[in-house]
Structure 1
Amino acid sequence: MAIRTDGLHHVTAIGGNPRRNVDFYARTLGLRLVKTTVNFDDPGVYHLYYGDAEGTPGTLMTLFPWEGVTPGRHGTGQATTTSFSVPELSLGWWEGHLTKLGLQTTRSANLEEEALTFLDPDGLRLSLVAHPQGDPRDPWDTPLVPAEHAIRGLHSVTMQVAKEDASTDMLTDGLGLRYVGEHGDKLRFAAGDGGPGALVDVLVTPNAPRGLVAGGTVHHVAWRAPDDATQHAWREELLSKGVEVTEILDRQYFHSIYFREPGGTLFEVATDDLGFSVDEPLLELGRALKLPPWLEPRREQIQGALPELNLPDENNPEVAETLANRQTQGV
């Protein structure tokens, strides 16, 4: 395989009430809402992007929050756990923080990693992983979650499959990942040098029920490509292997192709270029509804059908800095 991904670009899941979604990901988890837009294929539904200050690839969790969505079912053929990276000594703080907010958490340890697993309000399985080698990425700095404990970005995803070989072959031959060993009851694969943001675990459960992608489940997992030329070559290589791949799609902030790995999980390859400041300044990210040019003529109709979001003041970097300073000074 000549083309290899550098790791995870983003994970996209399906949620419920949009206001509750913002409250959980922006306040409880302390992520920045870096883009408020809509599902380009179904503009009656928000598409909310959460990540670090700039929405750097590898930090992004995105949600389609859909009021009244039918609950899904975790099982084979989907990514069943999305893990975030946190500092090594922060799990105790997170355990107290989440418990105080009424969330049930479970501690576990595999290899040298400790993890704290819990569900979001719609039943999506999330995990915070303390990586012993640390994570050099800068967090989104907000008093809602102190910087010394804050999420650094994605750590890994867990794919659940009924059969091992075809899915793992796709990871190695289709994405350029390498097998790095067993991790508890999972097989671990890594992109590049590995580490947070470049890992995927495969859980093989032949007798488990098939998953149903709906509310509280992952819709797709996106992998990084540096630019359009690499993505185009990647698409041609996948096609040459007999993989059904979409045309290259304009997602406004990156370009994308989609295909399913043999076990059923939907994969995306998304480019690192463009970014979230192409249509609004860095300081303003996430604060206004942004639409692609082809949907802009329908703005009034689209905006009128969407509920208002209660975005925290801390989403604005200048406000976040002021509040953090006041907190430090005990004001």
Structure 2
Amino acid sequence: MTDPTPGIHHVTCIASDPQRNLDFWVETLGLRLVKRSVNQDDPGTYHFFFADAEGTPGTSMTFFPWKDLPAGQAGAGQASRTAFRVPEGSLEYWERRFEDRGVEHGDRFERSVDAGERADASGDGRSETVLPFRDPDGLALELVAVPIPDDDPTVPWTGFVPEDAAIRGFHSVTLALSDPDPTAGLLRTMGFDELGSVMSTASDSDSRRFAATGPVGTYVDLVRTTDRGRQGHGTVHHVAFQTPTDDDQLAMRSAVREAGLNPTRQIDRHWFRSVYFRAFGGVLFELATSDPGYTSDEPLESLGERLVLPGEFETRRDEIESELADVTVPRPEADGS
């Protein structure tokens, strides 16, 4: 038997300028840089991990700043939108913050899920208020206002944004596909339940929503499109889903393989162990374990303060550092404001 995935583990994207990327995600959006490392397949490129205060699974937005790539275009075969949870009542704060900082954003809008009979039992049929925006590379993003329960697993970081407005991990990703049906079947294999149609006052195109079992990174929306995608700055590289233990991952890998896909062997990514595969329609998926986590090689209080080079890369530190651009991590004021 395959245990269902609790939801999204992390989302990895492509940026251009590393300093601009750091400034936006730390200082403007208020996420904590929990790991400063390099792309393990291209160590001449940074890999930044932005998350909540403790790097909780389901909160990590990560970036490869590849300066030499052109701008990308979201389309079929890509994750076209990434949404984050914020506390109810905080969107006015975010609108003011975006205006003050010159962040490209749209108007707030309402989105609802036609969950039918499931709505009363699951609570997933209610409408949600959404604030769309883009990062400096044009990556399509959203803040979704949700009630945050007392036992929520995320730990807000309050270096630049107050706790009552801080981002609390992922809400959802939207996958753009020429034919959503095969990916819908794959999501069911992974333990997602289909909730119903997502309807938005800001769009004429409805999507289908699927829900995982966990409280963070719960939703995947599938939208049909004929637009062609192009990977580059401002696009998602891959979406990783939680398979908390090695046994969970092995079972999920087997299920994915039986579904007709070709997952890789397990790869040690130092802070989690990963399996990769192209889903139906071309989106790159990853399965990621929960351990050993971002505190396995740095104390919690100093996460992200130094360049961490996992495994054999440490022996090449001088060479690698000489190829990386100098960056400065934004530091909050002493009072945390």
On whether the aligned pair clears a TM of 0.5, the verdict is yes
Cα distance 1:262–1:285, how it changes in 2: closer, same or farther (>3 A)?
Answer: same
SS in 2 for 1:114: strand
Q: CA deviation at 1:139?
A: 4.1
For the pair 1:260 / 2:278, whether they are aligned, the reply is yes
Q: Residue 237 of structure 2 aligns with which residue? A: 219
Q: Which residue of structure 2 lines up, in the alignment, with residue 201 of structure 1?
A: 221
5+ residue gaps, structure 2? 113-126, 200-205
Paired residue type of 2:183? S
Quick check: 2:87–2:148 contact (8 Å CA) kept in 1? Answer: no
1:117-266 equivalences in 2 (<5 Å):
117-132=132-147, 136-173=152-189, 175-184=190-199, 185-192=206-213, 195-205=215-225, 208-266=226-284
| Contact 2:103/2:133 (8 A) holds in 1 | yes
Indicate conservation of the 8 Å contact 1:12/1:63, yes or no. Answer: yes
Which residue of structure 1 aligns with residue 314 of structure 2?
A: 296
CA distance in 1, matches of 2:241, 2:61: 13
Q: Any runs of at least 4 consecutive aligned residues in structure 1 with deviations exceeding 6 A, and if so which? A: none
Change in CA separation of 1:130 and 1:191 when aligned onto 2, cut-off 3 Å = same
* Long gaps (5+) in structure 1: 315-319
What's the CA shift for 1:69? 2.5
Structure 1 residue aligned with 2:289: 271
Contact 2:16 2:137 in 1 (8 A): yes
Mapped contact 1:255–1:271 kept (Cα < 8 A): yes
Cα distance in 2 for residues equivalent to 1:83 and 1:197 = 9
Describe the shift of the 1:279–1:133 C-alpha distance in structure 2 as closer, same or farther (beyond 3 A). Answer: closer
Which SS does the other structure have where 1:43 is aligned? Answer: strand
Q: 1:34 to 1:133 in 2, by over 3 A?
A: closer
**TM-score of the superposition, structure 2-length normalised?**
0.90
Q: Distance in 2 between matches of 1:113 and 1:74?
A: 24
- More displaced stretch, 196-205 vs 213-222: 196-205
Does structure 2 retain, via aligned residues, the 8 Å contact 1:87–1:134? no
| 3-state SS of 1:160 partner | strand
Structure 2 residue matching 1:313: 3-state secondary structure = coil
Q: How much has 1:137 moved relative to structure 2?
A: 4.1
Measured after TM superposition, the shift of residue 251 of structure 1 is 0.2
CA distance in 2 between partners of 1:252 and 1:282 (Å):
16
Please give the per-residue CA displacement for 1:261-297, whole angstroms capped at 9, x wherever unaligned. Answer: 1111100000011001111111111011111112112
The alignment yields a C-alpha RMSD, in angstroms, of: 1.6
Structure 1 residue 133, shift from structure 2 partner? 6.4
| C-alpha displacement of 1:242 | 2.4
Rounded Cα–Cα distance in structure 2 between residues aligned with 1:15 and 1:129: 23
Q: Offset of 1:196 from its aligned partner?
A: 4.1
Q: How many Å separate the matches in 2 of 1:269 and 1:55?
A: 17
8 A Cα contact 1:139 1:151, kept in partner? no
Q: Matched residues in 2 for 1:143 and 1:96: separation?
A: 18
Offset from partner CA, 1:40-73 (integer Å, 9 cap, x none): 0000110000001111110110000122421111
> Offset at 1:105?
1.6
Instruction: Report the Cα distance in structure 2 between the residues aligned to 1:181 and 1:223, rounded to whole angstroms.
Output: 21
Is 1:113 the counterpart of 2:128? The answer is yes
Q: How does 1:61-140 map to 2 (within 5 A)?
A: 61-106=61-106, 107-111=108-112, 112-132=127-147, 136-140=152-156
TM-superposed CA distance for 1:241, in Å, is: 2.8
Mapped partners of 2:221, 2:26: distance in 1? 26
Alpha-carbon contact 2:76-2:227 (below 8 Å) kept: yes
The alignment covers a number of residue pairs equal to 315
Aligned-pair CA distance for 1:134: 5.5
1:97-142 residue CA offsets vs partner (Å, 9 max, x unmatched)? 0111112322211121001111100011110000256583444332
TM-score, normalised with respect to structure 1: 0.91
Cα 1:288/1:256, change in 2 over 3 Å? same
Which of 301, 307, 323 pairs up with 2:335? 323
